[in-house]
Structure 1
């Protein structure tokens, strides 16, 4: 092989290497909104269902809360996609929906779910559900999810001292009932174990997106129907409303100069004679008139 061939081979090899490097440096193909949503859902939904179960103690409500949170995220995807922490955004919405006090008015959520089979897990679940919702949420975020205190305060929309106070009260309540969970690391492991023992499955991402779009269409049509009804009612009111001012009828006034009503006085002799004559006549009327011959 001559030197020129070696040089040509080296040049060809160099061009191929540069092409490969250029191909490797090209940015990856951006995901579509549906693909990005599905990736976020696949990554966050299973753990979020278990967290909301610890928050509510109800399996169906936990799945429903996560689905509603992701449906809302899909409706506001341009906002969620640019958020610095989309998982935190969805978690906040799921927790807010799960802790809504209106669920107690729904018939299917009036009866509690069957208790956990394991006695230690059942005791821990009972203590968690007896905590006030703000303390339960703070404990789950800090000792369950593993957020630090400022992040927990930001998600619960409370100050850092208030969040620390809630956390201490929640830990004290759990330690009073379960002394073996006084260590925060042990509490974290028990919470993770309790959540993992439940067979909780989230819906598929396409089903969540379809449900979100269906719900958005329903509320859009409802808003349009309400607007049309309001416009029709306003038009009917304008059509039937009076176009000029009609003064009210004044109250009645007493008329002067009218003689008062008096009772009937005694009959005169002529009136008494006429009365007697009428009484003596036939009740059916006077007799038939007949010509009298002369």
Structure 2
């Protein structure tokens, strides 16, 4: 009788414990299940047509970088990528890394770099749009330099290139300020004479698995875009998910005419003073024809707001 009572007590205890664990599991699933399921890796799927040349501005330095891009690819992605070591090596880059934020949408990995051991680690997202200048060239001669701001830039621990720019992202955030600017960038992105090969990028990237380095599938291995993963029926859902998670207020700031003439730029979208435009306001006009023009209306408004 005592033995039966003991067995009954143990059975009740086990049953109660299992029910308690089940309740906790359901509670955790309800609390975190949706979030966990929503975390998808970012995707690196560059176009094989052409590369783009930019100057990357940190606020204290300007460095030229060849970038891959995604024009015409079977992949839905609006975020841009920058290599962690490349950014860390720029003057002013460490300060940008010190203020990284959580990626939007949430992601911890980047797939598509042909690394057999797994994906690349996402370090974080730049807290401010990245200021770059697109350099349009014809016959190796620069014909146009356009300033734009890349919203939602992910910092990647080991990217195969210094910078990857999403043309889809440029369109989604209204980064183009003119049709001519768009045409020049699309022309460069479609130039097969500048298709991505490792020789176009600094030597530090040549041993990356994407280019056939150790631990990679090889440069001739094809990688399917995420459209193949989600199917055509899931493309619109993926687009809306990415668009709804974009940073707020990512409109492209226009450059003050005075600053443009002096080859310096006012970053109207940045929460900081506009020293160049403010200096011009404080200085009395001399009537000299060579003097830079006064700040544009956008700069004056930005100064007044700040």
Which category of TM-score, normalised to the shorter sequence, fits these structures? Answer: under 0.3
Give the TM-score normalised by the residue count of structure 2.
0.27
Larger Rg: 1
